[in-house]
């Protein structure tokens, strides 16, 4: 009995030390006066330019898709053969309910994040896997990719993303996800969606990727192999996608793993503003998103091959995303512009 108490105390102490160490290193970096001044100046300059852009977008109202165009896109989705007479597919996706949500999605997409999307027409018709890097603490990268396919691809497609089980079990949010076509992340669900000729969005880094601390930004974590095995099994093309910009939307100083465990959540990031404004600190900063769609990649082979064989194929996808990400980072003018 007392043994476990001591064990737990020791573990807690070790966790505390690692959290403290991480915080100290990050604060030390920022406490150099020179570095702090240039960073502050740069952020202030970019931020004022970005807010002017946001203001002019809002004032002109030019960010909204015209109603008839939106109607045409929704009608296209409603034409899917996977829908029952009750307006949903077997996963609970209700295209008719997307209409009322589009203004909010589009505000995030065109105003808040001012997303720049490259080569979206590379997303093919029919079944495909969309594979992207994952970042930003909350999955706004998924929202942006989904909105781009809905509003900027011709004809529109609904990205069906594989969502963390935790999220789809929540009241309201889980139901909302389902109606918007987002699906509990299970291999079986993915297989069925592909059989239904859907475009399935997978973040192979999963929770590891999205909740990584700010100091690890633009360093992709290890990719899971599940998507590649499904691609080999279902013979689907893979579209690599790089998202640049999302890393800076919410700054995660450190992951509070014990708290996450306590609340049964995938992660519990501590952000700089959290002591002041609490959970609202998880809301994204108005960073600029750049989304790069790569050429579809085809793979062949045995879906049940050894990990080592599959890992080689996964590495090719990861490298394709890395290349687009590097290019995007080199080309971007700033975090907010």
Partner 1 sequence: MAKRKTLAVITGIGGRLGQLLARRLHREPDTRVIGIDRRPFLRKPSDVEHLRIDIRRKACEDLFRTRRVDVIYHLGLMHDPRQGLGEHYTWNLLGTKQILEFAQRYGVPKVVILSTGDVYGPQSDNPAYISEDAPLLGAQRFAGMRDLIAVDMFAQSYFWKFPEIETVVLRPAHIVGGVRNAVSNYLRLPRLPLLLGFDPMVQVLHEEDAVSAILAAARPGVRGVFNVVGADALPLRTLVSLTGKPTWEVPHVVLPSLARRLFQLRLADFPAAELDYIRYSATLDGERLRTVTRWSNQYTVEEAVQAALRSSVFDGGVERLPAGLPRAS
In this complex, which beta carbon is closest to partner 1, that of residue 206 or of residue 269? 206
Distances (CA, A) of 261 to 37, 174, 254, 266, 331: 38, 20, 15, 8, 39
* Binding site residues, partner 1, CB under 8 A: 84-88, 90-92, 94, 165, 168-172, 174-175, 178-179, 183-184, 186, 188-189, 192
Nearest approach in angstroms of CB 331 to partner 1 is 40
Nearest approach in angstroms of CB 181 to partner 1 is 12
Nearest approach in angstroms of CB 197 to partner 1 is 16
Please tell me the distance from the alpha carbon of residue 174 to that of residue 22, in angstroms, as a whole number.
33
Q: Smallest Cα–Cα separation from 230: which of 141, 310, 132?
A: 310
In this complex, which beta carbon is closest to partner 1, that of residue 91 or of residue 112? 91
Nearest approach in angstroms of CB 90 to partner 1 is 5
131, 297 contact by CB (below 8 A): no
In this complex, which beta carbon is closest to partner 1, that of residue 94 or of residue 128? 94
Please tell me the distance from the alpha carbon of residue 205 to that of residue 109, in angstroms, as a whole number.
23
321, 218 contact by CB (below 8 A): no
In this complex, which beta carbon is closest to partner 1, that of residue 199 or of residue 244? 199
Structure-token pair, residue 288: 């600029």
In this complex, which beta carbon is closest to partner 1, that of residue 133 or of residue 184? 184
In this complex, which beta carbon is closest to partner 1, that of residue 12 or of residue 170? 170
Nearest approach in angstroms of CB 34 to partner 1 is 51
298, 240 contact by CB (below 8 A): no
For residue 241, the SS3 value is strand
266, 260 contact by CB (below 8 A): yes
H or E stretch covering 270 = strand 269-270
In this complex, which beta carbon is closest to partner 1, that of residue 187 or of residue 312? 187
Nearest approach in angstroms of CB 178 to partner 1 is 8
Q: Smallest Cα–Cα separation from 336: which of 288, 289, 291, 285?
A: 288
95, 140 contact by CB (below 8 A): no
Nearest approach in angstroms of CB 162 to partner 1 is 12
Q: Is 92 left (phi over 0), alpha (psi -120 to 50) or beta?
A: left
């Amino acid at each position: 009995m007392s043994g476990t108490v001591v064990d737990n105390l020791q573990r807690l102490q070790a966790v505390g030390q690692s959290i403290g160490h991480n915080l100290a290193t990050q604060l030390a970096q920022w406490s150099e006066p020179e570095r702090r001044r240039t960073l502050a100046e740069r952020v202030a300059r970019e931020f004022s330019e970005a807010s002017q852009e946001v203001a002019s977008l809002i004032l002109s109202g030019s960010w909204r898709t015209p109603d008839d165009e939106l109607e045409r896109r929704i009608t296209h989705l409603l034409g899917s053969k996977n829908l029952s007479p009750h307006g949903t597919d077997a996963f609970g996706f209700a295209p008719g309910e997307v209409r009322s949500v589009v203004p909010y999605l589009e505000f995030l997409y065109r105003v808040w994040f001012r997303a720049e999307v490259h080569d979206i027409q590379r997303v093919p018709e029919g079944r495909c896997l969309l594979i992207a890097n994952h970042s930003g603490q909350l999955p706004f990268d998924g929202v942006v990719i989904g909105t781009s396919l809905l509003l900027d691809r011709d004809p529109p497609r609904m990205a069906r993303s594989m969502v963390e089980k935790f999220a789809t079990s929540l009241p309201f949010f889980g139901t909302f996800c389902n109606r918007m076509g987002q699906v509990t992340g299970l291999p079986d669900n993915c297989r069925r969606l592909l059989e239904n000729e859907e475009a399935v969005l997978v973040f192979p880094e999963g929770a590891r990727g999205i909740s990584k601390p700010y100091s690890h930004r633009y360093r992709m974590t290890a990719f899971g192999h599940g998507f590649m095995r499904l691609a080999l099994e279902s013979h689907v093309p893979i579209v690599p996608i790089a998202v640049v910009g999302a890393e800076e939307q919410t700054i995660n100083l450190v992951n509070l793993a014990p708290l996450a465990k306590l609340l049964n959540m995938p992660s519990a990031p501590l952000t700089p503003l959290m002591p002041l404004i609490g959970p609202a600190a998880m809301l994204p900063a108005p960073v600029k998103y750049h989304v790069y769609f790569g050429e579809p990649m085809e793979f062949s082979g045995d879906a049940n091959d050894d990990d080592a064989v599959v890992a080689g194929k996964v590495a090719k996808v990861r490298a394709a995303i890395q290349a687009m990400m590097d290019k995007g980072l080199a080309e971007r003018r700033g975090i907010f512009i």
